[in-house]
A and B are shown apart, each in its own frame.
Chain A
């Protein structure tokens, strides 16, 4: 297991270098240098902020040196300071001369987005497993057809549109659920149970929206996986020795059909993080997505580059976690019998 883990960690290194290269290239994608595009975009950008940008990315030095500096900053997790007037550090908290601590922007936003993503991953698994199993067991009969229709609509519905509609119906027209932020104004005065209920009401629509696309995909995936497994010989054997159908399906088939699910969940992480942009900015949730959108609108380059890099590293960690979980769940992978 340790060797497997070390091997996986070793393979992450070239990917990290690649990520640093891609993000570096994006920064140099703009015609001219970053500072002039910014000026072209935002006439209000002052000479001072342009100078800051030049200094931050060492734009006056040769390209290779610039990349060296960028790599160094990535390794030390120092993504500089936001251009916004609050001048907060991009990633981690920093203490100034007077001992005032200013909290990092990403440090503050990340847990919120992680919470939403973990909740929606949970919702996806809880709903997709039964849907997929029912669909597979009733293949080509009415329940399967109904679930397939749901899956196709789930794939096709634009998340931001559904969010807008739910926001209007549940939040404005009927005022059942709050439509912005993470907490109510009186949050501080609630007891623990009240606090949880309050957060749940605020998170209900955003979590549902971010889960929907994945839910459709993963229930289809569970269905096809179950169909594959149900046609295998050991299932016939299990049925032949007279096991109840439920035992065959849940004990013998589902366990094997669930294995690839771990990998798929790991792979869905970048989509979930990326998808948080629209939901978070629509519902004014101060997570990574909203931070990113705001930074893009203000051309706050240090924050953009910081989030891009951290987002990619998170995805790598997610995939690593999925692979380790897979190895833990499937002894064949752990012992290196199959890759």
Chain B
């Protein structure tokens, strides 16, 4: 872990993510205004000392909405990727441990899910359900577990043949003990990396869905739906679309940097290569 923390990419990523998490956590203390308070006397004001990021078409303070929006975006990101990782770890572990036809069925399912364009799949499911923050999390989770499944399966397949696992098996360890004590703890590195990278892409997907009006529903603020408002006013109020876009960019950048940094630091193969 020390190696991970001394990696410059990971440090930058950590710094960005930590500041965004702090802002999100202390949103009620930091926000200068009520994010949903409509003020007809302050419509579409440009950024100033009172309204750091200006106001929107209903006179709401954009900075306050951005702070509260960050909570939604991060919540959706974490829960969605949590669901995906849980499904992926279970299916990958079962496929890699039991092999045989179970493995074949699970991996064909992965292939099928990978062949359907993900964004189409998400939109189609949303079309059959009501768009709400919970449904978004579930749908993103249910459509992005395939990568983790492949990773865990590959780790299990190679770890299973190692001496310490064979030794445990010879000593009469149960399947559950083999999986949870010996195999899973040793395959967590790629899972952590893919979790961090997954949050980045979930934040992007959520903002895209909200932008299309199929994600988080107004008046609840999310970065994506602040941007949708911004689209309407783009000719008069650049700040409405500029700040949410930058926030998404920085968040995704932070998670990507951390993810790649961790990968570099934790994967001995790429570390060696970097030294060349």
Contact = CB atoms under 8 A, between A and B. Distances in A.
Given A18-B109, A164-B227, A296-B123, A311 B116 contact: yes
B220 interface: no
B110 to A, nearest CB: 10
A15 interface: yes
A104 to B, nearest CB: 18
27 contacts: A15-B108, A18-B108, A29-B125, A30-B129, A37-B128, A155-B256, A157-B249, A158-B208, A158-B249, A161-B248, A164-B230, A164-B241, A164-B245, A165-B241, A168-B235, A168-B241, A227-B276, A271-B117, A271-B118, A274-B121, A275-B119, A293-B123, A296-B126, A299-B127, A304-B127, A312-B115, A312-B116
B276 A278 contact: no
Given A155-B256, A158-B208, A296-B214, A277 B128 contact: no
B40 interface: no
A278 B205 CA distance: 11
Contacts of B121: 26, 274, 308
Contact of B245 (A26, A158, A311): A158
Q: Which 3 A-B pairs have the closest CB atoms?
A: A274-B119, A18-B112, A161-B245
Contacts of A26: 121, 124-125, 128
Contacts of B212: 277-278, 281, 293
A139 B118 contact: no
A220 B109 CA distance: 29
A46 to B, nearest CB: 19
Given A156-B252, A158-B207, A274-B119, A29 B108 contact: no
B127 A139 contact: no
Contact of B112 (A15, A161, A292, A308): A15
A296 B123 CA distance: 7
A126 interface: no
B111 interface: yes
A187 interface: no
B113 interface: yes
A211 interface: no
A146 interface: no
A165 B243 CA distance: 12
B114 interface: yes
B97 interface: no
A10 B241 CA distance: 49
Interface in B205-260: 207-208, 211-212, 214, 227, 230-231, 234-235, 238, 241-242, 244-245, 248-250, 252-253, 256-257, 260
A292 B115 contact: no
A22 B241 contact: no
B130 interface: yes
A278 B115 contact: no
A23 B115 CA distance: 12
Given A270-B115, A315-B117, A316-B115, A292 B245 contact: no
Contact of A156 (B128, B242, B244, B249): B249
Given A15-B115, A34-B128, A277 B256 contact: no
A153 B207 CA distance: 17
Contacts of B273: 227-228, 231
Contacts of A292: 120, 123
Contacts of B250: 156
A295 B212 CA distance: 13
Contact of B235 (A30, A37, A172, A277): A172
B151 interface: no
A90 to B, nearest CB: 14
A155 to B, nearest CB: 5
A261 B112 CA distance: 22
A164 B211 CA distance: 11
Contacts of A293: 123, 212
B253 A152 contact: yes
A308 B115 CA distance: 10
Contacts of B244: 161
B137 to A, nearest CB: 16
B207 A304 contact: no
A239 to B, nearest CB: 15
A105 interface: no
B93 interface: no
Contacts of B111: 15, 18
Nearest to B245: A161
Interface string A229-263: 00100000000000000000000000000000000
Contact of A273 (B117, B126, B207): B117
B204 interface: yes
B130 to A, nearest CB: 7
Nearest to B127: A296
Contacts of A176: none
Interface in A125-175: 139-140, 152-153, 155-162, 164-165, 167-168, 172
